[in-house]
Amino acid sequence: MTSQNSPDCVPFEDFERMMLGKPYVDRCCHVDAVDCWGLVVLFYRLCMNVNVHHDDSYSSGGDFVTCFNGEVSFWKDTDQPKIGDVVVAYRGSHPVHVALWWGRDKILHAREKTAVKTDRLKTLEKLSTKLRFLTYAGYSHSEDARSSKRDGQCSCWH
């Protein structure tokens, strides 16, 4: 489970060790605290050297469904997820949570009111009515992917 991109990318195992136990903070994308979407953004920035699209409704406090709808067009469905793809959890027809597919029935995610942790996919299945796997469609290795700081700090919006 290692990054296949440029040598300055953080290996996946190092990202997991760095983020495990970090607190969940709503609208946060920082190596010290994240929410579920912030973890995805940070992973792509640090491990894939990609700045994923980041909808303005996220930083302005939009609800999860609005934020998701602003982002989903940059992703495509996949039935063969690879490490780092996104698992979207639904309740009814509404998306309620995202996690990173970590391979072998494992996800890495920031759980609301708790912290970043790994879980079995079954855990998310039990809490959801439907799961959907997405892979990033706007795969451009962007020059500014590390423009914030080497430690990947995006920021927290409060």
Side-by-side strand order, sheet with 86-91: 75-77, 130-136, 86-91, 94-103, 106-110, 116-120
Only one residue has tokens 């136990």, namely 21
pTM here?
0.83
pLDDT value, residue 51: 86
Tokens of 130: 């439907």
Mapped onto helix, strand or coil, the DSSP state of residue 155 is: strand
pLDDT value, residue 141: 44
pLDDT value, residue 88: 95
**Helix or strand run (H / E) with residue 74:** none
Shortest CA distance to 81 belongs to which of 134, 15, 140?
134
pLDDT value, residue 120: 97
Which residues neighbour 126 within 8 Å (Cβ) at sequence distance 6 or greater?
Answer: none
Mapped onto helix, strand or coil, the DSSP state of residue 3 is: coil
Total H helices, total E strands in the chain: 5, 9
Which residues neighbour 114 within 8 Å (Cβ) at sequence distance 6 or greater?
Answer: 23, 24
Residuewise pLDDT in 10s, the chain (158 residues): 544 556 679 999 999 999 999 999 998 889 999 999 999 999 999 999 988 876 677 777 777 777 787 788 889 999 999 999 999 999 999 999 999 999 999 999 999 999 999 999 999 999 999 999 999 987 544 444 333 333 444 555 44
Residue 85 to residue 50: CA distance in whole angstroms? 13
Residue 129 to residue 156: CA distance in whole angstroms? 30
Only one residue has tokens 């009515």, namely 129
Mapped onto helix, strand or coil, the DSSP state of residue 81 is: coil
